[in-house]
Amino acid sequence: MLQMLSCPRCQGAGGGEGLVKMADSEDCVTQWIVCNLCDGLGQISRRRHAAVSIGKHLRDHRVKTLAVSLADLSTRLPTFTPQAVSAVEHGTTPFTSWGDVLELCIAYECDHHELLEAIHAAGDADDA
């Protein structure tokens, strides 16, 4: 059975209030915006939750330790565009291959043992 966890982006609310510019006027209004991580469900799979955690770790490491832009990092990964690297960092890429994540860890020059444990734990949870 697939284990679901509270969405870290909306904290389980399924979305939140946001400012929206109306197309037919110069005004902005406050409007409910559905969370784009959980699609308004308030929950995500354990695997998706792990992807978000891994992405946050990679993003923090890129910014704080490597001090490089997405574009600079993507030059180390010829198969990844800056948009693809950004999707990994936000946990929104559809993970069909955890090998891609490991390749990114190597490019980020970070210790990836912690990330391997998270990947393994997420895979075990989804297989249960």
- pLDDT value at position 6? 95
CA distance linking residue 19 with residue 6, whole number of Å: 24
**CATH T-level topology, domain 45-127:** 434 Repressor (Amino-terminal Domain) (1.10.260)
Query: What b/e string do you get for 46-85 counting C-beta neighbours within 10 Å, with b at 16 or more?
Result: bbbbbbbbbbebbbebbeeeeeeebeebbebbeebeeebb
Residue type, 58: L
CA distances from 22 to 15, 25, 34, 36, 87 (A): 19, 6, 17, 20, 27
CA distance linking residue 88 with residue 65, whole number of Å: 18
- pLDDT value at position 2? 74
- pLDDT value at position 126? 44
Distance from chain centroid for Cα 14: 16
How do the domains of the chain map onto residue ranges? Answer: 4-34, 45-127
- pLDDT value at position 115? 65
Mean pLDDT of residues grouped by 10 in the chain (128 residues)?
87 94 87 94 89 85 89 83 87 67 73 65 49
Evaluate if pTM is beyond 0.85: no
- pLDDT value at position 14? 96
